[in-house]
Structure 1
């Protein structure tokens, strides 16, 4: 399937002392399991996918025109980041109208045409739902400001009186994920300072009050609006944040930046993991029960949503949780049988390129998901973290960055790409579902040389540049190696500048080119489908050194597939008679070299 595939291997010194663990880590799923239990879903970031009109911003007609690329890639569905009416303070995650399309992306007719075309190509369509907060330009919030304290309109949001003699202090000590206080004081109609409103993210993103029945009813109506237009599900933004602890008490958590570092510059007590859209904010310390995250009341919301989706019959419409929650025993509560279908596996995304760590997170993830009868949903990149082709270009153990600036240490691009290909090859061999972020099939690195004046992530501004932000992973896609916007659109305009090196990764330089990253992804997805790896069992294989991840994906309907990911310094052998299906890079005299993953049939 790729130039790295080979016929049956007969090595001079094959690996002969390999043995499977007698008890699988994960049993095989049913061969006819629901589509979402094994699907590979491709994330489209609309403003960076394809620009049809030359204004420098991607749009829905552009997406529609490029959908054959995804059919040929071999994915099952697409997930689109928000395209709703929005002032774009946080790239569309500040929604002003949940039932309409922002003019920069097109119209509802364009959305209908895109959904129809995707379905014609065999692609399901998942759209983003942003329920934790709206834009401050949403009609409800404008009405709340106009109505004043004590009004029914303000009850839909989190308005509170301030502390201090004159209410001059915020209601509590909560901090925004984007930096600064999580509260903003409003000026009332009489011109005097008044109440404060909560915004866990930007000041232009006021949090809804999810204890209010009108809020719940409104979002149930919004779900039906999009389901009636033919969408196949929803990725739910900040799924763990809707409900806040009663009384909004001060948090006991150490004040941290978005990276999870304490203000003195040392690593925070809760690690460097994230809260919103993959933003690398502090993880939840359940010994202190963070009052703004992962409250038990959120599960009631999703049980109601699940009933709505099930009322639409088959094929299943799905919910996928963006929930940065630990430990895994709490995270999988979101995917119990009567709640969501999927939840991103951020523990896997944030794992180091260390064999022991990968084995541990794969084992714990599968055990946790199996405990509630759910599939694990694997992911390595998205629109909120540095692309894994860049992250893996640093030495294991390097502190993770919220973006990479030109003044930061730079990743080794060749090393990062080699490891990224190996990591993806490992991920797509694992049972369950998986998500791919646009451009990773090209091996795109982050843009690390972007001048500060082009950065648009609100965290960059709110921290005075202390946090680089997420712009580097959001740069428009290079479709061709020639042209002023590398095929992104018909003009030279591009809402974020494309680095010159992106020409080397363009689609037209990789289609049909043996060994290219694009052709590797096509081969992986074709083999994954042919071998039904998404519904297979998983057993660890013993006999290799500790710096090798070796497993089998089994099924009663086919031979076992042996997966060997070599993270060590020395090449390793495959067992005698192994037939290579696909490899992330070339083998060396039949041996698996460093930072390479191989799938092989193994009798």
Structure 2
């Protein structure tokens, strides 16, 4: 699957913002790349307080991106090219400009309008303290106090993310019923599936008890169990309800969970036969470029998913993460937080070498894989964006302490020698500036270069699709030197990834693809090779 962040993919109308006409024009490029389908980040109407993850209408298309007719055309033309399409649903919260929230603000405590959200009285003599100690993923408290119609301070509302993203109360029947119709609206239009954003956030413990953050005021849901606002067991009732709706449609309608939870065992709960179909593998994404931790997370993932008969899903990056070329060129190669490695100078040549090896390793693993737009071009993060162009609420709510995620969302370079590199017409400035150094990384520049990152992805995806027996094969490790990952995918393929500090011998197999050329029959450090008998 290929993730499209539509604002940064391709600008079809020349206004500096990516849109659905731009995506339609590039669908043949994605088919040629060799992916099976697209995951499109939110395309709904939104004030864009959090890059479209603050939705004001779940049944529409943001005018920036086009119209419902444009969305229908994307679905129709993608299917004609053999591409499936899943879209991003953001059900934990709405925009503060959603009609429901505006109605709640205009209503009174205890009203049905406020019951769709978490409105609560504050603590303290005059309610001046938040209802509990919960914090926001973007920094600061998870509660904001409203002002009543007479100008006096009123109740507080919950937002696990930005204040512009009030959390919905999923124990409310009106919320459940309305989203049943949202699912049917998009399934009826031909969407093949839904990626569920922040899935573990959707249920909270009754009475909203205080959280135990262990003295560290960071939103580290992956690190602790028994969380009152994350991965609460009642969330699974929602997904069973949704799966039942999907099962009423002919063909495949799939759910993909974004579920950052504390263990593979907890993740497996989301993948029971009557819930989600697959889930993103965050421990794999966030781990360091080290053989031991990578093998451990591969084993943990496969062993936890095998009993429930669900395929693993592998991913190296997304619109929320540091791009691999930058991350793997740093001393800190893990990505547990967006701030990991911040301030470290990245060796982009080393990062590119490792990113090539990491891509081949990921694509050799059993299960599904996701590629984030620009990953196939070897784009680095843009870490020197001017403060005045940054839009991520992480940057704004941390008073600039965290640079946020804008650096991985810079518009793609398609062609030409200078910005906007074919993303927009010449003379149009994209919504985030592209570095001049990307002239060597455009699609046009890489098209005719057999050693390019684009050529590597195309060939790896072609082999992945065409290798007989690969889909049915499991994974079996071979004995290998320290720092080397060596495994068989049945008799279809053998993968050797060298993460050690020196070259290693390549078995007497036929090399069908390598991330960089072998040297004297040896696989260099930070390289991966695919082998056949």
TM range (shorter): over 0.9
Please say if 1:110 is aligned against 2:70: yes
CA RMSD of aligned residues (A): 1.5
Please say if 1:553 is aligned against 2:486: no
1:273 alignment counterpart: none
Instruction: Trace 1:434-513 onto structure 2 (pairs within 5 A).
Output: 434-490=369-425, 491-513=427-449
Deviation of the 1:463 alpha carbon: 0.6
1:283 alignment counterpart: 222
Structure 2 CA distance for aligned equivalents of residues 226 and 354 of structure 1:
41
Please say if residues 286 and 334 of structure 2, whose CA atoms lie closer than 8 Å, have aligned partners that are also in contact: no
Count, aligned residues:
531
Structure 2 CA distance for aligned equivalents of residues 477 and 534 of structure 1:
31
Please say if 1:392 is aligned against 2:328: yes
Deviation of the 1:401 alpha carbon: 5.3
Q: Which protein, 1 or 2, shows the higher relative CO under an 8 Å CA cutoff with sep ≥ 6?
A: 1
1:429 pairs with one of 360, 364, 373: 364
Deviation of the 1:535 alpha carbon: 3.3
Structure 1 CA distance for aligned equivalents of residues 77 and 177 of structure 2:
31
Structure 2 CA distance for aligned equivalents of residues 218 and 185 of structure 1:
26
Structure 2 CA distance for aligned equivalents of residues 588 and 191 of structure 1:
74
Alignment partner of 1:240: what SS? helix
Instruction: Trace 1:225-244 onto structure 2 (pairs within 5 A).
Output: 225-244=185-204
Please say if residues 357 and 515 of structure 2, whose CA atoms lie closer than 8 Å, have aligned partners that are also in contact: yes
Structure 2 CA distance for aligned equivalents of residues 384 and 583 of structure 1:
29
Structure 2 CA distance for aligned equivalents of residues 83 and 399 of structure 1:
27
1:151 pairs with one of 111, 122, 125: 111
Deviation of the 1:400 alpha carbon: 5.5
Please say if residues 322 and 335 of structure 2, whose CA atoms lie closer than 8 Å, have aligned partners that are also in contact: no
Instruction: Trace 1:202-241 onto structure 2 (pairs within 5 A).
Output: 202-241=162-201
2:239 alignment counterpart: 302
**CA shift in 2, pair 1:257/1:516, >3 Å:** farther
Deviation of the 1:573 alpha carbon: 1.4
Please say if 1:601 is aligned against 2:510: no
Deviation of the 1:536 alpha carbon: 1.8
Alignment partner of 2:231: what SS? coil
Instruction: Give the structure with the larger helix fraction.
Output: 2
Q: Deviations over 1:36-93 (max 9, x none)?
A: xxxxx00000000001112111000000000111100000000000010110100100
Alignment gaps of 5+ in structure 2: none
**CA shift in 2, pair 1:146/1:299, >3 Å:** same
Alignment partner of 1:421: what SS? helix
Alignment partner of 2:202: what SS? coil
Alignment partner of 1:600: what SS? strand
Deviation of the 1:534 alpha carbon: 3.8
**CA shift in 2, pair 1:215/1:445, >3 Å:** same
1:581 pairs with one of 501, 512, 526: 512
1:32 alignment counterpart: none
1:321 pairs with one of 257, 260, 264: 257
Structure 2 CA distance for aligned equivalents of residues 235 and 194 of structure 1:
35
Deviation of the 1:483 alpha carbon: 4.4
1:331 alignment counterpart: 267
1:569 alignment counterpart: 501
Q: Deviations over 1:482-529 (max 9, x none)?
A: 343011011422111111222211000111311110000000001001
Structure 2 CA distance for aligned equivalents of residues 257 and 582 of structure 1:
46
2:55 pairs with one of 95, 119, 126: 95
Please say if 1:246 is aligned against 2:206: yes
Could you state the TM-score of these two structures normalised by the residue count of structure 2? 0.97
Q: Deviations over 1:148-201 (max 9, x none)?
A: 111111000000000001111100000100011100010111221110000000
**CA shift in 2, pair 1:533/1:508, >3 Å:** same
2:18 alignment counterpart: 58
1:175 alignment counterpart: 135
Could you state the TM-score of these two structures normalised by the residue count of structure 1? 0.86
Structure 2 CA distance for aligned equivalents of residues 514 and 301 of structure 1:
48
Alignment partner of 2:95: what SS? coil
**CA shift in 2, pair 1:399/1:482, >3 Å:** closer
Question: Which 10-residue stretch deviates more, 228-237 or 495-504?
Answer: 495-504
Alignment gaps of 5+ in structure 1: 1-40, 261-280
Alignment partner of 1:224: what SS? helix
Deviation of the 1:468 alpha carbon: 1.0
1:536 alignment counterpart: 473
1:411 pairs with one of 341, 346, 363: 346
Please say if residues 404 and 446 of structure 1, whose CA atoms lie closer than 8 Å, have aligned partners that are also in contact: no
Structure 1 CA distance for aligned equivalents of residues 216 and 25 of structure 2:
43
2:284 pairs with one of 340, 343, 348: 348
Deviation of the 1:481 alpha carbon: 3.2
Alignment partner of 1:83: what SS? coil
Please say if residues 418 and 439 of structure 2, whose CA atoms lie closer than 8 Å, have aligned partners that are also in contact: no
Please say if residues 221 and 262 of structure 2, whose CA atoms lie closer than 8 Å, have aligned partners that are also in contact: no
1:402 alignment counterpart: 338
Structure 1 CA distance for aligned equivalents of residues 221 and 346 of structure 2:
24
2:305 pairs with one of 357, 369, 373: 369
1:270 alignment counterpart: none
Please say if residues 404 and 472 of structure 1, whose CA atoms lie closer than 8 Å, have aligned partners that are also in contact: no
Structure 2 CA distance for aligned equivalents of residues 374 and 114 of structure 1:
29
**CA shift in 2, pair 1:308/1:103, >3 Å:** same
Structure 1 CA distance for aligned equivalents of residues 456 and 421 of structure 2:
22
Deviation of the 1:399 alpha carbon: 7.2
Deviation of the 1:429 alpha carbon: 0.3
Question: Which 10-residue stretch deviates more, 489-498 or 201-210?
Answer: 489-498
Please say if residues 80 and 128 of structure 1, whose CA atoms lie closer than 8 Å, have aligned partners that are also in contact: yes
Structure 2 CA distance for aligned equivalents of residues 398 and 49 of structure 1:
26
Structure 2 CA distance for aligned equivalents of residues 320 and 121 of structure 1:
22
